[in-house]
Amino acid sequence: MDILLATNNRHKVEEISSLLGSHGFNIKSLIDYPGLPKTIEDQPTLEGNALKKAKEAFKATGLLSLADDTGLECYYLELKPGVVSARYSGERATYAENNMKLLHALKGVPPRRRNARFRTVVAIVGKDMQRVVEGKIEGDIAESLRGTGGFGYDPLFIPAGSRKTYAEMGMDEKNTISHRSIAVAKAVEVLLEIEVKS
């Protein structure tokens, strides 16, 4: 089955492809379609943005499209940055800038109040179908950047039950527990259902 990952983010393509890889899907991404316009992520929820990306990718290519939107939700900050996590410090924000802004927002906040959760919503859109699934994991925000792996807020997020940030883990270790792996596992169930029906 051909599946289009509706993202130009190479880190996401690598991570999601590794999660889908063992199921024999033929995976493409928007990197393979450089002429397509970028989806404006202007929806108020992760669900809305994921669906919008998947719908636009399907409409443009006709391929079964899978899109995710991920948010880091800090309880002390009333679930911010949330839906604007990737643009927390501006439309063209770098990972480093976002991490620095989050550290500044939580400066002086004690460890017991630095709890947060990561949420990934995955939307799957094809002919006459659309489905949305979600993965989430609780954790804490570190008081300084730790580790060199991963991307985004990985150097700051310590998943519950671990002493390491995502960035201190290898991809295989991260993929056994991460919010994205939980969401993609649910998406795989949907994709296998579709494959059986077709």
Picking from 23, 35, 34, 25, the residue whose alpha carbon sits closest to that of residue 4 is: 25
Quick one: CA dihedral 13, 72, 164, 182, positive or negative?
A: negative
Question: CA angle at residue 109 from 107 to 112, to 5 degrees?
Answer: 145
Q: Which residues are catalytic?
A: 69
Phi, psi of 85 (to 5 degrees): -50, -45
CB neighbourhood size of 126 (10 A)? 21
Picking from 87, 106, 107, 108, the residue whose alpha carbon sits closest to that of residue 97 is: 87
Contact 130, 190 (CB under 8 A): no
